[in-house]
Amino acid sequence: MESLNSITEKALKVNLDPAIYGTFAEIGAGQEVVRHFFHAGSASRTIAKSMSAYDKSFSDDIYGKEGRYVCESRLQRMLSKEYDLLIKRLDEARGNETQFFAYANTVATDSTGAGHAWMGISFQDHPKSEVNQIIIHVRLFDTDRITQQEVVGVAGVNLVHGAFFLNQAPVDLIQSLSDFMTNKRFDIDMIRFSGPLFKTIDHRESCLHLVRKGLTNAALFGPDGQTLQPAEEIYHKNILVLRGSFRPVTKVNVDMMTSSLKQFCRDYSLDPNEVVTIAEISLQNLLADKNDEQNETKDFLDRATLLQQLGHRVMISNYPEFYLLSSFLNKLTNGYIGMVIGTPRLKDLFEEHYYSKIDGGILEAFGRLFRNKLHFYAYPWMDPDGKLLTAYNLGVDRKLDGLYRFLLDNNRISALDNYAPELTRLRLTTQDVLECIKNKDDVWMNYVPEQVADQIKSLKLFGYES
C-alpha cells in the first residue's frame, strides 16, 4: 500500500487524479473536509461544488424536513440529492471520462466530549458505473469544539481517499480511516458498504475489523447481518445481554436468554418487544492465535450465523471486563440493563485479583458495574458432585460476603427461577461440543438446538464433516 505522509498528501492525490470529480456538502462543523482539498492545491480538478446549509430552513428546503439533523437518514438525503444533481448537470458533458462522487456529513460538536458525526460518500469506481456508497458514524471525544472539527476533517479526507484508492481492499480501507489521528480522540463505531463494488462484502466482518483494528471498542449488527449504530439502536431502550463464546451456541445458551428475558420483563413490568436482546462476544473469546486473522474471522462468522438465526443482535467488543461493558451500555441508554451470567462466572466476578489494575480495586469496579439500573441474572449450574449452584448458595470469599449480600438484598443480583432444570445436568461445555464436532462424535447434536445442528451440518460450520 502506498505510503502518504500527511492528510494533505492524501487530499492532493485525489485532486491530481483527472477522473475524480464531485461535490461536498457539510452541515454542523464548518467545511472541514473540503478545506483540506482546497488547501492541498489543484482543487479545481476535483471540486464541482462545496456548500454548507447551516440554517434549518435552508437545509429543510434543500433536503426535506427531518426530525433530527445529525442522523443517518439526513445524511442519506444529502447524498442522494447532491449525487443526483451532479449526474443531472454534468454526466452528459463529461460522464465518459469522469468518476463522479458526492461527499456529505452532518455533525454535532459537544463541549463534554459527546459529539458525533455521520459522513458518507456516493461514488463511481469507473466512468458510467453504478453508484457505490460508504457510510460511517464517528464519535468525537475531544472536549474542544475546534479539535472535534479537526477530527471530522481528517476522517472525511481518509474516507474520500479510501473510497477511490482502497475500494478493492476493505480491511485496508477500514484501517486507513484512522490515519493521522490518535484513536483516543474518536471512535468509528459503524461502517456500511453498499453498491455493486461491495456486493460480496460481509458486513459482520466489517464490524469485526472495526474492533480488531482499534477504531472502536464495540460494534453491533442485526439478525439480518446489517451493521447497526449502537447509540441509535440502544438509545432509551431496555437491554438484555448474554456474554459468551457461543462456539457454538448451545441449548443452555438459549435457555439462559429465554428464561432471563421472561424474568427481566416480569421484574420491571416490560413488554418483551420493548427489550433489545444482544449476544455479546469479546475479542478475548475469539481464537487464541491473534496472528491468524483469516481463521479467526471465519470462526467469528460461524458463531454469528447461528446467533442471528435465533434472532439476536450480535455485538463484538473489546471489553474483557464486565464493568467496562456496563459503562459502555450505560452511556447509551437510561433504560433497564440486564446481564445473564452462569453461576460459576458470577463467582469469578468476586475474585479481587481481576481488579488489581484499578486504583479502587473491586469496589471501584463494582461501582461502575452496577451503575444505574444494571441487574445480573444468574443461571444455575450443576457442579461435578451433583450440587446445584445458584446465586443464593454461591459461597463467595468470606471478606466479600457482605458486599455480595448487599447486591442480593438490593435486587442487583437474582437467581433465575424459571430455567429448564434438565439442562443443568448437561455437562458438556461449548468447548467440549466443538471437540465432538471436530472428532465426528454425533453426541454434540444433543447439546445444541435442532435448528442450530441443522445449520452446522448444512453450512459445515466449525469444521463439520459428514
**434 phi/psi in degrees, rounded to 5:** -60, -40
Q: Are residues 239 and 174 in the same domain?
A: no
pLDDT at 11: 98
pLDDT at 265: 97
Q: Are residues 187 and 324 in the same domain?
A: no
pLDDT digits (tens, 9 = 90+) for 374-409: 999 999 998 888 899 999 998 899 999 999 999 999
pLDDT at 291: 63
**462 phi/psi in degrees, rounded to 5:** 55, 30
Question: Which among 186, 201, 216 is the end of a domain?
Answer: 201
Question: Which among 157, 182, 201 is the end of a domain?
Answer: 201
* Residue whose entry in the numeric block shows the C-alpha cell 464519535: 139
Q: Are residues 375 and 445 in the same domain?
A: yes
Q: Are residues 126 and 24 in the same domain?
A: yes
Q: Are residues 406 and 258 in the same domain?
A: yes
The end-to-end CA distance of the chain, in Å, is 42
Q: Are residues 331 and 390 in the same domain?
A: yes
Residue 120 included in any domain: yes
Q: Are residues 326 and 381 in the same domain?
A: yes
Q: Are residues 240 and 189 in the same domain?
A: no
Work out the number of other CB atoms within 10 angstroms of the CB of residue 258: 16
pLDDT at 289: 54
Residue 412 included in any domain: yes
Give the span between the Cα atoms of 381 and 367, in whole angstroms: 27
pLDDT at 21: 98
Question: Which among 147, 179, 201 is the end of a domain?
Answer: 201
Residue 1 included in any domain: no
Per the structure, the count of domains in the chain is: 2
**Long-range contacts (CB closer than 8 Å, 24 or more residues apart) made by 204-209:** 204/300, 204/301, 204/304, 204/314, 205/297, 205/300, 205/301, 206/170, 206/174, 207/316, 208/297, 208/300, 208/316, 209/170, 209/171, 209/174, 209/175
For residues 148 and 120, the answer to whether their CB atoms sit within 8 Å is: no
Q: Which residues contact residue 140 at a Cβ distance below 8 angstroms, ignoring those fewer than 6 apart?
A: 109, 110, 113, 114, 115, 116, 117, 148, 151, 152, 185, 186
Residue 25 included in any domain: yes
Q: Are residues 193 and 242 in the same domain?
A: no
Residue 455 included in any domain: yes
**Per-residue tens of pLDDT for the chain, all 466 residues:** 567 999 999 999 999 999 999 999 999 887 999 999 999 999 999 999 999 988 888 888 999 988 788 999 999 999 999 999 999 999 999 999 999 999 999 999 999 999 999 999 999 999 999 999 999 999 999 999 999 999 999 999 999 999 999 999 999 999 999 999 987 899 999 999 999 999 999 999 999 999 999 999 999 999 999 999 999 999 889 999 999 999 999 999 999 999 999 999 999 999 999 999 999 999 988 755 556 788 889 999 999 999 999 999 999 999 999 999 999 999 999 999 999 999 999 999 999 999 999 999 999 999 999 988 899 999 999 888 889 999 999 889 999 999 999 999 999 999 999 999 999 887 778 889 999 999 999 999 999 999 999 999 999 999 899 8
Q: Are residues 237 and 183 in the same domain?
A: no
Give the span between the Cα atoms of 460 and 449, in whole angstroms: 16
Label the pairing between strands 115-123 and 132-140.
Answer: antiparallel
**Where in the sequence is the domain holding 168, given as residue range(s)?**
7-201
For residues 145 and 109, the answer to whether their CB atoms sit within 8 Å is: yes
**CATH number, position 72:** 3.90.950.20
Q: Are residues 312 and 166 in the same domain?
A: no
Q: Are residues 304 and 432 in the same domain?
A: yes
For residues 416 and 378, the answer to whether their CB atoms sit within 8 Å is: yes
Amino acid present at 440: K
Residue 115 included in any domain: yes
Residue 2 included in any domain: no
Residue 208 included in any domain: no
